[in-house]
């Protein structure tokens, strides 16, 4: 059975939400709504964007980006936001390409 997802926002579709409540680290960030905690972007693809990620981060004295207070990629409604950042990620990958 083929389903018509045209006209739906990605956040309304099943492919944009994955939850692994059996994970030893679930939820990996503090949340008042674990039922809405999205594990799809378990490792945040926005991390490498540094200050342009849009999340709640801080830099430690060591220079490491600390995202422990950020739930941006784990919100049910953040799928489209993450995808909008993919051109910037592709540009970074292009800049770091070795031939």
Per the domain annotation, does 5 fall within a domain? Answer: no
Per the domain annotation, does 3 fall within a domain? Answer: no
- Rounded to two decimals, the pTM is 0.80
Can you give the pLDDT at residue 11? 87
Per the domain annotation, does 99 fall within a domain? Answer: no
Q: Range of 74's domain?
A: 10-91
Per the domain annotation, does 42 fall within a domain? Answer: yes
Per the domain annotation, does 49 fall within a domain? Answer: yes
Can you give the pLDDT at residue 5? 67
How many domains, in total, are found in the chain? Answer: 1
Rounded average pLDDT per 10-residue block, the chain, 99 residues: 71 91 92 92 94 95 94 92 95 89
- Asked whether 67 and 50 are in contact (CB, 8 A), the reply is no
Per the domain annotation, does 1 fall within a domain? Answer: no
Can you give the pLDDT at residue 6? 76
Per the domain annotation, does 34 fall within a domain? Answer: yes
Contacts of 10 (CB under 8 A, 6+ apart): 16, 79, 80, 83
Q: 89: which DSSP letter?
A: H
């Amino acid at each position: 059975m083929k389903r018509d997802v045209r006209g739906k926002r990605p956040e309304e579709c099943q492919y944009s939400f994955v939850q692994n409540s059996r994970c030893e680290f679930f939820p990996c960030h503090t949340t008042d709504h674990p039922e809405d905690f999205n594990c799809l972007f378990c490792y945040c693809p926005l991390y490498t964007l540094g200050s342009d990620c849009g999340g709640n981060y801080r830099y430690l004295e060591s220079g490491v980006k600390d995202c422990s207070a950020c739930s941006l990629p784990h919100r049910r409604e953040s799928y489209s936001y993450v995808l909008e950042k993919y051109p910037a990620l592709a540009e970074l990958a292009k800049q770091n390409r070795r031939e």
